[in-house]
Amino acid sequence: MNLNEYALDLLQNEKIKEFNEFRLKNLIFKPNLSGQNFSNKVLSNAFLNGAICTKANFSKSNLTKTNLVQAELNECCFDFGDLTLGLFMYAEMKNCKVTNCSLNRTNFMWADLSGSDFSGSKFEQTIFVEANLNNAKLDDLKKDKAFTKYAKLANTSWNIQQQS
């Protein structure tokens, strides 16, 4: 079993402690989880920073306190997921489905979220500082519940340049 297969097996079996220990022993390894199905999985606290997860399915997953800093998450599905306190700084998240999610205190600072759909998601102290939200679907979401200073918001319902 190669490193990637081992990492995938740990995640699919929700062995997060073992996965994190593995990542700490293999610091330069970036798991390729593209196209994988993690729906309904508990991946809370997982060290997925730098992981390649293009078109992965995280719907209905528990991703609380998960580290996805600098991860490649383009075209992923997070529908009905719990991303509370998640770290997504510098993540590539173009054209993702992030509908009906809990995004309370989630940090998307400097992330590229262009074209993503956040319909029905719940925000509370969610950080989008300097994030790219151009063309994102933010309809009916309360922008006063998010920090958007210097965020790119062209072609969104929020369409503001700065918020304190």
81-109 per-position pLDDT tens digit: 999 999 999 999 999 999 999 999 999 99
Query: Is residue 45 a contact partner of residue 16, using CB atoms and an 8 Å limit?
Result: yes
Instruction: Look up the CATH number of the domain holding residue 48.
Output: 2.160.20.80
DSSP letters along 49-87, please? Answer: TT-B-TT-B-TT-B-TT-B-TT-B-TT-B-TT-B-TT-B
- Give the global pTM: 0.94
DSSP letters along 13-44, please? Answer: TT-HHHHHHHHHHSTT---B-TT-B-TT-B-T
* pLDDT tens per residue, range 36-79: 999 999 999 999 999 999 999 999 999 999 999 999 999 999 99
Classified as helix, coil or strand, 143 is helix
d(CA 39, CA 130): 29
Query: What is the 8-class DSSP label of residue 102?
Result: E
Q: Give residue 161's domain range.
A: 1-164
pLDDT above 70 covers what percent of the chain? 97
Q: How many domains does the chain have?
A: 1
